[in-house]
Structure 1
């Protein structure tokens, strides 16, 4: 599973767990959603640090590879031979 999907599903799962835990409180659903969103954001900063780092590293490698491909394509279009 890609690091992006793992982190995304982890954040979503954390949101759902918190929202379900708050359902019996009798609060309005919108308030529960806002609290769950804020709490899942804050908890993910602490609990999912390694997954976030893996995702950032993966995104960085994709961006670097695309930049290299773009530079290579520009060189080929300009007629530069390597």
Structure 2
């Protein structure tokens, strides 16, 4: 079965491309009990949502680090001015 999928649909068992998975799902659109059939197949819309959330979280973390660095530099600069 795995070789058939690789030959005809270019769907690997793990780490398939989004295009290949989307093509596979579109071709197998009318099946009996799709929730059961596709329960181990990646949910592409959720994958895109997770990637977007990951990007926003990374951006928020980057901003927080920059703000804390700026605050530290400001405080250390203030201390140098008052000490000298």
Give the alignment's TM-score, normalised by structure 1: 0.41
Q: Which has the higher helix share?
A: 1
Give the alignment's TM-score, normalised by structure 2: 0.40
